[in-house]
Amino acid sequence: MAEKYPEYKGLNLPNVAKDVLDKWEAEQTFQKSIEVREGSPSFVFTEGPPSANGLPGIHHVMARTIKDIFCRYKTLAGYQVKRKAGWDTHGLPVELKVEKELGITKEDIGTKISVDEYNKACREAVMRYTDEWEKLTMEMGYWVDMDDPYITYDPKYMESVWWLLGQIYEKDLMYKGYTIQPYSPKAGTGLSSHEINQPGCYRDVKDNTCVAQFKVKPGEKVPFDQAKVDQLHLLAWTTTPWTLPSNTALTVGPKIEYVLVQTWNQYTHEPIQVILAKNLVTKQFGKKFVKVEDASSMNYQQGDKKIPYAIIGECLGADLVGIRYEQLLPYCQPHENADQAFRVIPGDFVTTEDGTGIVHTAPTFGADDAFVAKQAGVPPMLILDENENPVPLVDLQGRFRKELADPVFGLGGEYVKAEYLEEGEEEKELARQREMLKDIIADLKSYLSVDERITLKLKIENKAFNIEKYVHSYPHCWRTDKPILYYPLDSWFIKVTEKRERMVALNKKINWKPKSTGEGRFGNWLETANDWNLSRSRYWGIPIPVWTSEDKTEQICISSVEQLKSEAQKAVDAGMMDKNPLAEFVPGDFSKENYAKIDLHKNYVDEIILVSPSGKPMKREADLIDVWFDSGSAPFAQQHYPFENKELIDNGVEAFKNGTAPKGPSAFPTDYIAEGVDQTRGWFYTQHAIATLVFDTVSYKNVISNGLVLDKNGQKMSKRLGNAVDPFETLSTYGADPTRWYMITNAQPWDNLKFDLEGITEVQRKFFGTLYNTYSFFALYANIDGFTYSEADVPNRPEIDRWILSKMNSLIKDVTAAYEDYEPTKAGRLIQEFVTDELSNWYVRLCRRRFWKGDYTEDKISAYQTLYQCLETVAVLGSPIAPFYMDQLFCDLNSVCNRHTASSVHLVDLPKANEAEIDIDLEEKMDIAQKVSSMVLSLRKREQIKVRQPLQKIMVPVLDKDFARRLEDVKDIILSEVNIKEIELLEDTEGVINKKIKPNFKTIGPKYGKQMKQIAAMIGQWGAKEISEVETNGGWKGELNGEEIALDISDFEITTDDIPGWLVASEGRITVALDITITDELKSEGIARELINRIQNYRKDSGLEVMDRIKLTFDANDVVKSAIESNKEYIKNEVLALDIQYATLSENDGVLADLEEGDTRIDLVKG
Q: With beta carbons less than 8 A apart as the criterion, state whether 143 and 30 touch.
A: yes
Q: Which stretch binds RNA (CB under 7 A): 541-549, 599-607, 749-757, 1041-1049?
A: 749-757
C-alpha distances in Å from residue 392, one per residue of 74, 189, 245, 396, 404: 57, 16, 10, 9, 11
Q: Side chain identity at 251, as an amino acid letter?
A: T
The reply to whether 193 sits near RNA by the rule CB under 7 A is: yes
Show contacts with RNA in window 975-1014 (CB under 7 A).
Answer: 998, 1001-1002, 1005-1006, 1009-1010, 1012-1013
Binding residues for RNA, how many (CB under 7 A)?
A: 100
Distance of CA 44 to the CA centre of its chain: 21
Ranges within 230-249 binding RNA (CB under 7 A): 236-240, 243
Least distance (Å) between residue 894 CB and RNA: 21
CA distances from 653 to 167, 641, 691, 884 (A): 15, 13, 10, 37
Q: Is 525 a catalytic residue?
A: no
Task: Indicate the residue among 611 and 1087 with the shorter CB distance to RNA.
Answer: 1087
Catalytic residue among 49, 149, 543, 824: 49
679 an active-site residue?
Answer: yes
Active-site annotation holds for 162: no
> Among candidates 1109, 1113, 1103, 1099, which has minimal Cα distance to 1136?
1109
Catalytic: 716?
A: yes
Contact 881, 72 (CB under 8 A): no
Minimum CB separation of residue 206 from RNA in Å reads 13
Identify which of residues 554 and 626 has a Cβ nearer to RNA in the complex: 626
Interaction with RNA in 381-410: which residues (CB under 7 A)?
none
Pick between residue 240 and residue 666 the one whose CB is nearest to RNA.
240
**Residue among 171, 509, 716, 853 flagged as catalytic:** 716
CA–CA separation, 847 and 981 (whole Å)? 19
Nearest-approach distance from CB 1058 to RNA, in angstroms: 12
- Say which DSSP state 297 is in: G
Smallest distance from RNA to CB 1074, Å: 13
Does residue 867 bind RNA (CB under 7 A)? no
Out of 338, 947, 985, 1152, name the contact with RNA by CB under 7 A. Answer: 947
The SS3 assignment for 322 reads: coil
- Nearer to RNA (CB atom), residue 907 or residue 973: 973
Interface segment toward RNA; rule CB under 7 A; list 151-159, 263-271, 497-505, 943-951 = 943-951
578 binds RNA (CB under 7 A): no
Q: Does 1050 bind RNA (CB under 7 A)?
A: no
Q: How far is the CB of 314 from RNA (least distance, A)?
A: 20
Query: What are the residues whose beta carbons fall under 8 Å from the beta carbon of 843, sequence distance 6 or more?
Result: 800, 803, 804, 866, 867, 870
Antiparallel, parallel or unpaired: β 1063-1067 and 1070-1075 = antiparallel
Contacts of 862 (CB under 8 A, 6+ apart): 794, 797, 798, 801
Helix/strand/coil (H, E, C) string of 1063-1112? EEEEECCEEEEEECCCCHHHHHHHHHHHHHHHHHHHHHHCCCCCCCCEEE
Return d(Cα 731, Cα 734) in angstroms, integer: 5
Of 474, 604, 643, 1130, the one binding RNA (CB under 7 A) is 474
848 binds RNA (CB under 7 A): yes
Residue 1133 near RNA by CB under 7 A: no
Interface region with RNA, contact rule CB under 7 A, candidates 82-90, 1040-1048, 1076-1084, 1097-1105? 1097-1105
Of 910-939, binders to RNA (CB under 7 A) are: 934, 937-938
Instruction: Quote the Cα angle for 79-85-86, to 5°.
Output: 135
Q: Which of 206, 552, 579, 719 is catalytic?
A: 719
Does 1102 participate in binding RNA (rule CB under 7 A)? no
1130, 1073 Cβ separation under 8 angstroms: no
In DSSP notation, 565-609 reads HHHHHHHHHTTSSSS-TTTT--TT---HHHHHT---SHHHHTT--
The one-character DSSP state at 739 is H
CB of 1099 to RNA, least distance (A): 5
Residues 676-715 that bind RNA (CB under 7 A): 677-678, 680-682, 707-708, 712, 714
Check 133, 547, 628, 1036 and give the catalytic one. 628
Task: Considering only residues 282 through 301, tell me which ones interact with RNA, judged by CB under 7 A.
Answer: none
Cβ atoms within 10 A of the Cβ of 1096, count?
A: 14
- 719 catalytic? Reply is yes
If binding is defined by CB under 7 A, does position 367 make contact with RNA? yes
Identify which of residues 573 and 751 has a Cβ nearer to RNA in the complex.
751
Question: Is 752 one of the binding residues for RNA (CB under 7 A)?
Answer: yes
Q: How far is the CB of 6 from RNA (least distance, A)?
A: 15
**In terms of CB distance, is 545 or 707 closer to RNA?**
707
The reply to whether 1022 sits near RNA by the rule CB under 7 A is no
Distance CA 1061, CA 1082 (A): 21
CB of 835 to RNA, least distance (A): 9
Residue of 87, 492, 683, 1036 marked catalytic? 683
Backbone angles phi, psi at 989, to 5 degrees: -130, 125
- Is residue 704 within 8 Å of 687, Cβ to Cβ? no
Nearer to RNA, 558 or 753 (CB): 753
Alpha-carbon distance 995 to 1025, whole Å? Answer: 10
Residue 550 contacts by C-beta under 8 Å, 6 or more apart in sequence?
A: 616, 617, 619
Can the peptide bond before residue 950 be classed as cis, meaning omega within 30 degrees of 0? Answer: no
**Which residues between 511 and 540 bind RNA (CB under 7 A)?**
514, 516-517, 520-521, 524
Tell me how far, at minimum, the Cβ of 1010 lies from RNA, in Å: 5
Provide the minimum distance between the beta carbon of 82 and RNA in the complex, in angstroms, as a whole number: 30
Q: Which of residues 814-833 bind RNA (CB under 7 A)?
A: 825
Q: Which of 1167, 1077, 1154 is nearest to 1120 (CA)?
A: 1154
End-to-end CA distance of the chain: 36
Would residue 106 show up in a list of annotated catalytic residues for this protein?
no
Q: Which is nearer to RNA, 80 or 770 (CB)?
A: 770
- Position 1020 contacts RNA (CB under 7 A): no
To the nearest whole angstrom, how small is the minimum distance from the Cβ of residue 443 to RNA?
A: 31
Q: In angstroms, give the least distance from the CB of 620 to RNA.
A: 26
Binding mask 6-35 for RNA (x = CB under 7 A): ----x-------------------------
- The rounded Cα 447 to chain-centroid distance in angstroms is 53
Q: Which of 106, 948, 1111, 1121 binds RNA (CB under 7 A)?
A: 948
User: Is 844 an interacting residue with respect to RNA (CB under 7 A)?
Assistant: yes
Question: Within positions 441 to 470, which residues make up the interface with RNA, using CB under 7 A?
Answer: none
Selected from 40, 1079, 1097, 1117, the binder of RNA by CB under 7 A is 1097
Min dist. Cβ of residue 846 to RNA (A):
8
Residue 1114 binds RNA, judged by CB under 7 A: no
Q: What are phi and psi of 492, to 5 degrees?
A: -85, 135
Question: CB within 8 A of 1069, min separation 6: which ones?
Answer: 959, 963, 1053, 1055
- With beta carbons less than 8 A apart as the criterion, state whether 667 and 648 touch: yes
Measured between alpha carbons, how far is 429 from 444 in angstroms, rounded to an integer?
A: 12
Residues 353, 927, 982, 1043: which binds RNA (CB under 7 A)?
Answer: 353
Give the whole-angstrom CA distance, residue 536 versus residue 622: 9
- Residues facing residue 673 across a β-bridge: 703
Q: Binders of RNA among 134-163, rule CB under 7 A?
A: none
**Residue list 763-782, contact with RNA (CB under 7 A):** 765-766, 769-770, 773-774, 776-777
Q: Which residues contact 428 (CB under 8 A, 6 or more apart)?
A: none
Q: Catalytic residue positions?
A: 49, 88, 628, 679, 683, 716, 719
